[in-house]
Structure 1
Amino acid sequence: MHGPFNRSGRRKPMGEINVVPFIDVMLVLLVIFMITAPMLTQGVQVELPQVSSEPIDDAQDNDPIIVSVDREGDYYLTLGDDDSQLALDELTDRVMTLLERRPGTSVLVRGDRNVPYGQVVTLMSRLQVAGVANVGLISEPPSGD
């Protein structure tokens, strides 16, 4: 007699594992992550200007300091995953302190395209007073029309 039973009526162990339920669970998780991943964007919602430019070659090991100005003109300081809204004076003090602790850290400005030009220039001027030698501007590549 063939099958999983031997002559004594006992079941012999199966050497196969049914992986179909595992595959089903993995596909469901894949769909869930594909749907939720675009919703997990970090940072301040800023509509960046679209220009063509070369990416910055940042060979440093530490994360850059990102200063953002949103559509309403509020200032944000981003360090890694931490976003905090600050007044302009408080922001420049924090940047100065961070640069004292980590000299050579890149400082990048994300300015919403709808913010008045003068407000971004004022921010860059205040960063220069705080000790930032070079300020990088973040933009998005133009969308292919």
Structure 2
Amino acid sequence: MGMSVGPGAEDGGVVPEMNTTPLIDVMLVLLVMLIITIPVQTHAVKLDMPAGPPPPRENVVEPEVITIEVDFDGTVYWNGAVLSGREEMEQRMTQKAAQDPQPEVHLHPNRLVKYKYVAAVLASAQRLGLNKIGMVGNEQFMD
């Protein structure tokens, strides 16, 4: 029981079709050589970094640091002192925004606080002109 593959296959004759296996092998070798010879594209940005020691820091005033904590129930602490309400917070922010140099604000939200309380503090700070705002303690939210 056999399968007929075409004319001339039964009597051992020559099959009139071209054997493409060696051509495919050659094409694969050429493709591999092409991939190997293509230069690797590196995504780099050329930076001209300053050479030598940094210039001395003279008359540099370290900015004041204000720590604003937002507790889980929305209570706001200004450098550890409880604020009575949003009006007092905004009054203090207005005073600090007018200073030169402007103080740094470190915002430290509690892990359980609702976002609306933190967003209200950030919105007030931005609206009143505090530019140096940073979130502190983000590692607590990694879990």
Q: TM-score, normalised by structure 2?
A: 0.49
Q: Which has the higher contact order (CA 8 A, sep 6+)?
A: 1
